[in-house]
Structure 1
Amino acid sequence: MTARDNRGIPRREFVKSAVAIGGTAALAACLDRERSGDDAAAIPTGTDDPTSLPRGQHSWNEFLATDAHGNDVAPRHHLLLSLDYAGDGTPSSDERETVEVALQSLERAFEWSNEGLLFTVGYSPAYFARFDDELPDSAGMADPKALSPFEEPEFDTNDAVVHLASDHGSVVLEAEEALKGSRDEANGVEMDAHLGDVFDFPDDFPGRRTGFVGAGLPAEHQDVAGIPDDVDIDEESPLFMGFKSGFKKNQASEDFVTIPDGPFAGGTTQHVSRIRLRLDDWYTENDREENVAKMFCPAHAKEGKVEGAGDNLGTSSGVEEAGCVESIDDDARNYGKIGHTQKTAAAREDGSPLIIRRDFDSTDKDEAGLHFLAVQRSIADFEKTREAMNGTDQTKHPTIRQRVNNGILEYTFVKRRGNFLLPPRAHRALPEPNPQ
C-alpha cells in the first residue's frame, strides 16, 4: 500500500513533486514528510575519511541496492544542476580548495549509497576551453553534436554539471540547497564551504533538471503532455515506456568504463541527453506484442518472453541469447520491424557493452521526458552506441524507415545533448587540463 501523509497525498507523489519544484520551501515540506513521524526515514551520515571512498566519482554500483536477480537498482530521485564558474580567467588554488571542502562536507553529511547520497561533478569542453593547455586524448572527451540525421538538439555549454541521486527526495533537495549556500548544514552536519561561493547556479530549466525512476513513480506522474489521458501505466513499471532497463549483463562494468591512463585515470566521461517522449501512438496504436518487438526484438514478442515490465528476464534482456543481434536483417525482412535493444546490443567491445545507463524519467516542462545519462570510457563509445541505435543500415528494407518500425525512435525526440568529463575524486575540484 502506498504510504500517505495526514492529508491523504501519496508520499512518493508528494516527494517527487517537491524535488521538481525545488527551493527552501519545498525542502522544508519534504523534510517534514520524509523525516518526521513514526515512519520517518533515517538518513545515514557519511565519513570523515575521504580516502575510504572510491577513486572514481562514478563508482556507485557497490553502494546500490540490488533486486532479486542481482541487478543494481538505481536511486529513485535525481537532480541535475548546471554550474557556471563565476570568476574571471582560470580558477585559483583557493577556489579549488573551496570546491573540494564543499564536496567533502556533503560526503560527511550523507553516506555514499542510495540510502544516503551519490553524486558526481563533471566538466564540459566549454570549461576546459579557458585554459591554454588542451585536454589529452586519454581524457576521451569531445564536443557534443547531433548523433542522428533527424535530430537538431541544443547543446549544453555550462561549465559543469552536478548529478545528485538518492532514494530520498529530501536528500537531493537538502544537498542542492547546501551546495548553493542556502543552508549551513546538511543532515545535521555543518557545511564548511559552499559551491555557491565559486559557481553561479542557473535556477530554471535546463539549468535545473529533475527526474525519477522506480516502480510506481511513472504511474503516479503520467498526467503530462506526451502520455494519453486514457492510459494507465503499469504500477510495476519503473519508466514511462512500460519496461525496465539496466539489466546487469547489458551494462558495462565500472572498471570497463574507467579511463585507464593519463592525468584523469580513474575517472570517466558522461553524456547527458534530454529526450522528449511522445507516447500517444506507443500506447494507443500499438498492442503489447508490437511494443515488445520494438523495445526488445520480434522474437521476444512472438515467443511471449517478456512479462510485465520485464523483471522475469533476470539479469539480461535476452536478445543476445536469442540470437536477435545476428538475425536483425532477417527480422527486418520477415517482420517489417526491428527492436531497440536488438540494435544497441551490437555495440560491444570484447563482448562487453560500451556504456553504463543511469537514465531517469522526468516531467520537466510538464511533458513526459527522459534524461538519458550514460557513463563510458570515452565519448566515442557513447557515439558508437547511439549509431547502432539509429539502425540506419536497416532502412534498405522498404518497411524500415529512419524513424518508423526502427526500435523506439518514432517515440523519442532528442532536445539537448551535453558531454562532460568526470575526473577521479582527486581532481574533481576545478581541474586543469593536465592536473599534476
Structure 2
Amino acid sequence: MPSRRSMLGKLAATAGVGVAGCATGSPPGLPLDANPHPVPSRQYAQHDVLRRDTDGNVLQARHRRLLLLDLKASPSQRAAETVERALRGVERAFDWAPDGLFHALAWGSKYFADNDALGRVPIEHPTVLTRTDDEELQRFDALLVLESDVPSHLPAAESALFGARNELNGEPVDHTLADVFVRRDRRTGFLGEGLPAEHVDVEGLEADAPMFSGFFSGREGSQATEDAIAIPDGPLAGGTTAHLSHISFDLPTWFDFDEADRVHKMFSSEFSPEDVAELTTDVPFADEVREHAREHGSVGHHEKVARVRRDGKPLLLRRDFNTVDGGVTGVHFLSYQRILDHFRRTRKSMNGWYLRDDHPNITDRENNGILNVISTTKRANFVVPPREKRAFPLTVT
C-alpha cells in the first residue's frame, strides 16, 4: 500500500499546489513533493509557533548553529535540485517548531557579486561601521541557520546535510549539501533562561539570566514584526536581508559595575533596576538622549538605538544569541531587516558619535551605552530568499 507521503506527493505534483502551509515553488525541473511537516514560505517565520512568556513575548529557540558556506559547484539546475532536495530532507525529519528544527538558507554578498547580481538585491559587501573596533569584513556565498530547543538536533542536521549520516530522526538521507558547498566556518551559541550561567562562571551573572548582559532583550515592542521586515515586491518578495556580526563581550568589566549602573548603560539614566523588573512587552522610550547626555554625562544603549524607530516601530528583527566560541564570551548578532540600510542606521545611532559634543565625559566608548565592554570583530551581509527561491536565487531560471 502506498505511504501517506507518496500519495500526497503524487497529488501535489498533479494538482500543481503544495500541502497547506508548505512552500509551493521549486527549482526548474524539480517536481513538487508533499511535506509531512508544514513549513512557511518565509524562511524566518517563527512567531506563530514559538513559545511565549507570561507577558506574551516570544521565546526564541534556545540553541543555535550557523554554518558559513562557499560554493564548490557552479549555479545550475542540477545544483539547485541538490540543495532543494537536501533541505526538504531536513523538513521531512523535523517539525517546524521549537522542539523540532528551524532552518534558513541565506545567500551572501560574494555569491551575488560573483554572479553579477549584487545590484539586483538589497545588500552589498559589508563596510566598517565603527571607529574603535578591528572589524573583519567577510564575504560568503551562503549562510545556513539552524535553531532548536533540542541541542542534539543541530549537530545531527549538520551531519546529515554534509554526508556524515544516512538517516535523520528516522528519515533516510538521500541528498546532501556536500556536493555543492564547503563549510568555511561554524558559529554556535545559546539563548534563554539559565543557559549563560551554564557556560561561564562570572560573579554577578545570575543563574536564570537569558543573556550574558543579565537582561531580557526580546520584548515584543522592541522587535520588528515578521511582516515589517519582508521585502514587499520584486523577485525576492517575501524574503528579507540579514546581517551577521560577531561581538566580543567583556563580562568581568560589565559586572564590575553595580546593578544600577548596568541598567543606566543598557537602558538610560531614567531607569532603575525596579523599573526594569516591571517591564513587560516593551521598553518605554522618551527620545531625550541628548538631554540625558548633557545632564548626566552618559547615555544608555537602548535610548540610542530606539531613536531610529519608524512611527514608533523598530526596524530590526533580532535573532542574536550568546556564544563562547573560541573561548571568548560574546554575541553572534544576527538581525533581519527589510533593507540593509535599516541595520546601518541602527548601528550608527548606537555608536553615539553625535553625542560627544554634548558632554566631555562621552567618548567613542566611555559613558556611551555598552560600547566600553563590547567590540565587533566580524561582519557579513546576506539575502534570505523566500523558501521557494532558496536554491540559487536570481541565477538559475
TM-score with structure 1 setting the length: 0.81
- Separation (CA, whole Å) in 1 of partners of 2:46 and 2:337: 14
Residue aligning to 1:33: none
Residue aligning to 2:28: none
**Counterpart selection for 1:314 from 275, 280, 284:** 280
Residue aligning to 2:83: 99
CA deviations on 1:110-160 (whole Å, 9 max, x unpaired) are 001111000111111111122244442xx3112111112222211222211
Q: Is the 8 A contact 1:219 1:232 kept in 2?
A: no
**Counterpart selection for 1:214 from 192, 195, 207:** 192
Residue aligning to 1:258: 230
Shift of 1:243: 0.6
Q: Is the 8 A contact 2:265 2:367 kept in 1?
A: yes
**Counterpart selection for 1:166 from 125, 136, 148:** 148
**Counterpart selection for 2:64 from 69, 72, 78:** 78
- Separation (CA, whole Å) in 2 of partners of 1:134 and 1:193: 29
**Counterpart selection for 1:430 from 361, 384, 392:** 392
Shift of 1:383: 0.4
Residue aligning to 1:49: 35
Residue aligning to 2:213: 241
Gaps of 5+ in 1: 1-46
**Counterpart selection for 1:271 from 238, 243, 258:** 243
Identify if the C-alpha distance between structure 1 residues 173 and 387 changes in structure 2 by more than 3 Å, giving closer, same or farther.
same
Residue aligning to 1:38: none
Residue aligning to 2:311: 350
Q: Which runs of 4+ in 1 moved over 3 A?
A: 132-135
Shift of 1:232: 4.2
Whichever residue aligns with residue 67 of structure 1, its letter is D
SS in 1 for 2:152: helix
CA deviations on 1:168-215 (whole Å, 9 max, x unpaired) are 11111111111111111111111221011211123xxxx011000111
Q: Is the 8 A contact 2:125 2:139 kept in 1?
A: no
The answer to whether residue 270 in structure 2 is matched with residue 299 in structure 1 is: yes
Q: What is the CA RMSD across the aligned residues, in angstroms?
A: 1.6
Residue aligning to 2:253: 281
- Separation (CA, whole Å) in 2 of partners of 1:83 and 1:91: 14
SS in 1 for 2:265: helix
Percent of counterpart pairs with the same letter? 41
Whichever residue aligns with residue 279 of structure 1, its letter is L
CA deviations on 1:402-432 (whole Å, 9 max, x unpaired) are 1111000111000000100001101101222
SS in 1 for 2:41: coil
Identify if the C-alpha distance between structure 1 residues 51 and 262 changes in structure 2 by more than 3 Å, giving closer, same or farther.
farther
Mapping of 1:26-425 within 5 angstroms? 48-49=34-35, 52-87=38-73, 90-136=74-120, 139-202=121-184, 207-223=185-201, 228=202, 231-284=203-256, 286-301=257-272, 304-307=274-277, 312-318=278-284, 320=285, 323=286, 325=287, 327-396=288-357, 397-425=359-387
Gaps of 5+ in 2: 1-32
Q: Is the 8 A contact 2:61 2:147 kept in 1?
A: yes
Whichever residue aligns with residue 340 of structure 1, its letter is H
- Separation (CA, whole Å) in 1 of partners of 2:87 and 2:118: 26
Q: Is the 8 A contact 1:65 1:73 kept in 2?
A: yes
- Separation (CA, whole Å) in 2 of partners of 1:132 and 1:148: 29
